Amino acid sequence: MLGKTRMALACPSSPIAAAKFVVVGGGIAGVTCAEQLAIHFPSEDILLVTASPVIKAVTNFKQVSKTLEEFDVEEQPSTILEKRFPNIKVLESGVRQLKTTENCILTEDGNQYKYEKLCLCAGAKPKLISEGNPYVLGIRDTDSAQEFQKQLTKAKRITIIGNGGIALELVYEIEGCEVIWAIKDKAIGNAFFDAGAAEFLTSELTSKKSDVIITCKRTRYTIEESEKEASAIASAGNLGSALGPDWHEGLNLKGTKEFSHKVHIETMCEIKKIYHQEEFKQMKKTSLPFPRDCQDKSTDKDTWPVYVELTNEKIYGCDFIVSATGVIPNIKPFLDGNNFMLGEDGGLKVDDHMHTSLPNIYAAGDICTASWQPSPVWQQMRLWTQARQMGNYAAKCMAADTLGESIDMDFSFELFAHVTKFFNFKVVLLGKYNAQGLGLDHELMLRCTKGQEYVKVVMQNGRMMGAILIGETNLEETFENLILNQMNLSAYGEDLLDPSIDIEDYFD
Ligand SMILES: Cc1cc2nc3c(=O)[nH]c(=O)nc-3n(C[C@H](O)[C@H](O)[C@H](O)COP(=O)(O)OP(=O)(O)OC[C@H]3O[C@@H](n4cnc5c(N)ncnc54)[C@H](O)[C@@H]3O)c2cc1C
């Protein structure tokens, strides 16, 4: 345990406070990092600087298997964190600038804080297809999700652009509103599925939505009026924390009409142009009706507030557009005057100790780009679970560096493992589940029962490299072990997926 140290301060203007450890960002990565540091150094002040009025806490954490984990996420007032960890001080203000030469951060409220070790966990922002267009919404945090819900109650038709997890969930959850879904790939959910899994799920979109009520595991913290104001200011700059796994469950995603799903998918296209109503009228263009309503290619009789022209030349009118085309790491406030090495995806490059390219500065979660040589069955994805794992590991690395100790790479980076729900199906993704980076030298094995389960394994040289499990397959633990131990499975052939063979017994 270290004694409390106060540094001699050299920043030019007062007041300047100092903490041995400063963490920026009140999302899962930042909060987990601060908690771990607080546990490692109970007599040291940990300063958590965050732009949002609430912080995100992991609750009901459950290690489902060696690498699969499940947890709930709660938005909490920062006082709860400070009560649980009296040595964490939360400061609610955005970081405006980072002066690495002076080991100092400047906050929006005009203060400066010195650090010995800093961890940047400022997350990512939605990549909007069009900035500043009132008809284009991005969903990132509670405020933007609520704004979306508000707009949806008045909508007859919306257009969703993007093919990641957010688009997938939205398309399934929205009821009573026509959805034109434009994706640049051949099949839905490209980041998560192959075409077969996409086909399995697409049929769910056309079948009637089940009436099963999924309980919302996350208890939302309702922000008080005064905090709502602050939250609105923070969200104006897109600074809130990203939402978590069950983000849509507290929201009633219902449009104006009385039907369940009405989704039309336009594949292999992107947005070419967006027209406002007036502009569209002036240009004397025509738009298409909702395809399911009309066999011929007649023009749409309705007028719409906004029109999208796709790269396949089709034009649709709609009430608004949801831009769900991924995120960009939120690095801007930290760049001025600092020569960080950046990844191709625009994140702060971190090494196998979560260390950025600048001294004493670490990064974790959506803001960073993992730049170490990864295990053959792990890849970075900007997900909830990885934000927690990185925040946790970054704190351990900061502690080890402070104490001059060595530290091994955390086991969670051995195997990519993610469990989620899409279209009300449990979905488990393991390792190179989409044969990412394996080239042509791999084979796939499949098992599928329509409406029930979809199992795919990716094999290379007789070894299991990845798997997608949709439905209640109970195969996750066995397959996780087979991927981790890289056992040669050539002898088992297709028995691996034979439903009449109890595979768990095989490998016990
Ligand atoms: C709609 C939506 C649905 C999602 N669904 C899933 C899902 O089902 N499963 C899943 O695994 N993942 C999902 N994700 C992704 C997941 O939410 C993120 O990967 C995760 O939240 C990243 O955590 P983080 O701590 O790195 O960043 P964030 O949670 O974004 O937190 C960033 C924090 O930094 C603060 N901040 C930003 N700028 C500054 C600044 N200049 N100064 C100080 N503080 C600052 C913010 O206020 C915030 O507190 C979803 C994301 C979205 C948007």
**What pLDDT does residue 175 have?**
86
Cα 9 to middle of ligand 1, angstroms: 32
Answer yes or no: is the C-beta of 125 below 6 A from any ligand 1 atom. no
> pLDDT tens, 129-177?
888 899 999 887 777 888 888 899 999 999 999 988 888 888 888 888 9
Q: Which atom of ligand 1 is found nearest the CA of 245?
A: 8
In this prediction, residue 391 carries a pLDDT of 98
Q: Does any ligand 1 atom lie closer than 6 A to the CB of residue 121?
A: yes
Sequence spans of domains, the chain: 16-125+328-413, 128-214+249-323, 424-506
- 420 Cβ below 6 A of ligand 1: yes
Report the pLDDT averaged over residues 62-78: 90
Average pLDDT over residues 76-103: 96
Residue 262 and residue 255: Cα distance in Å, rounded? 11
Yes or no: domain 16-125+328-413 corresponds to CATH 3.40.50.300: no
Lowest mean pLDDT among 16-20, 22-26, 35-39, 456-460: 16-20
Cα(315) to centroid of ligand 1, in Å? 33
What's the pLDDT score for residue 28?
96
pLDDT in tens, 367-392: 999 999 999 999 999 998 999 999 99
Mutate to test the pocket of ligand 1, among 70, 121, 142, 419 (most ligand atoms within 8 A of CB): 121
Q: Output the CA 145–ligand 1 centroid distance in Å.
A: 13
The pLDDT value given to residue 189 = 82
Report residue 249's pLDDT band, with 50, 70 and 90 as the boundaries: low
Q: What is the DSSP letter of 70?
A: E
Report the pLDDT value the prediction gives residue 6, as an integer from 0 to 100.
39
Position 48 pLDDT exceeds 80: yes
Calculate how far, in angstroms, residue 366's C-alpha sits from the geometric centre of ligand 1. Answer: 7
Instruction: Report how far residue 220's alpha carbon sits from residue 217's, in angstroms, rounded to the nearest whole number.
Output: 9
CA of 104 to the centre of ligand 1 (A): 24
Report d(CA 317, CA 453) in Å as an integer. Answer: 36
pLDDT greater at residue 229 or residue 327: 327
C-alpha separations of 5 from 19, 21, 43, 46 in Å: 8, 11, 9, 12
pTM confidence score: 0.85
Other C-beta atoms within 10 Å of 300: how many? Answer: 18
Provide mean pLDDT across the span 298-305.
86
Distance 354 CA to ligand 1 centre (A): 18
Q: Ligand 1 in contact with 29 (CB < 6 A)?
A: yes
CA of 62 to the centre of ligand 1 (A): 21
Return the bridge partners of 349, or none.
Answer: 369
Mean pLDDT over 108-130 rounds to 94
pLDDT tens by residue, 320-369: 999 988 889 999 999 999 999 999 999 999 999 999 999 999 999 999 99
What is d(CA 457, CA 338) in angstroms, rounded to the nearest whole number? Answer: 44
Which tens digits make up the pLDDT trace of 190-225?
A: 777 777 888 888 877 766 554 433 332 322 333 333
Cβ atoms within 10 A of the Cβ of 72, count?
Answer: 17
Measured from the CA of 25, which atom of ligand 1 is nearest?
34
The tens digit of pLDDT for each residue in 262-285 reads 889 999 999 999 999 999 999 888
Instruction: Tell me the Ramachandran region of residue 294: left when phi exceeds 0, alpha when psi lies from -120 to 50, beta otherwise.
Output: beta
Q: Which of ligand 1's atoms lies nearest the C-alpha of 385? A: 11
Kindly tell me if the per-residue pLDDT of 394 is higher than 70.
yes
Hey, do 128-214+249-323 and 424-506 end up sharing a CATH topology, with the first three levels equal?
no
Are the CB atoms for 272 and 311 separated by under 8 Å? yes
Cβ–ligand 1 contact at 384 (below 6 Å): yes
9-13, 248-252, 449-453, range with greatest mean pLDDT: 449-453
What does the alpha-carbon distance between residue 106 and residue 116 come to, in Å, rounded to a whole number? 15
Residue whose Cα lies nearest atom 7 of ligand 1: it is: 245
pLDDT class of 186 with cuts at 50, 70, 90: confident
Task: Give the CATH superfamily of 424-506.
Answer: FAD/NAD-linked reductase, C-terminal dimerisation domain (3.30.390.30)
CA of 241 to the centre of ligand 1 (A): 4
Answer yes or no: is the C-beta of 388 below 6 A from any ligand 1 atom.
no
Q: Whose CA is closest to atom 5 on ligand 1?
A: 245
Taking alpha carbons only, the member of 336, 278, 309, 299 closest to residue 97 is 336
Mean pLDDT (the chain) is 85
Q: Is the CB of 329 under 6 A from ligand 1?
A: no
Asked if residue 302 has pLDDT above 50, the reply is yes
By CB neighbour count within 10 A (0-12 exposed, 13-18 middle, 19+ buried), where does 133 fall?
middle
> Class of 128-214+249-323 per CATH?
alpha beta
Q: Which residue has the higher pLDDT, 439 or 382?
A: 382
Looking at the DSSP bridge assignments, the partners of residue 63 are 69
Q: From CA 53, how far away is CA 56, in angstroms rounded?
A: 10
According to DSSP, residue 491 is labeled G
| Structure-model confidence comparison of residues 166 and 86, the more confident one | 86
Atom of ligand 1 nearest to the CA of 93: 43
Q: Cα of 16 to ligand 1 centre, how many Å? A: 29
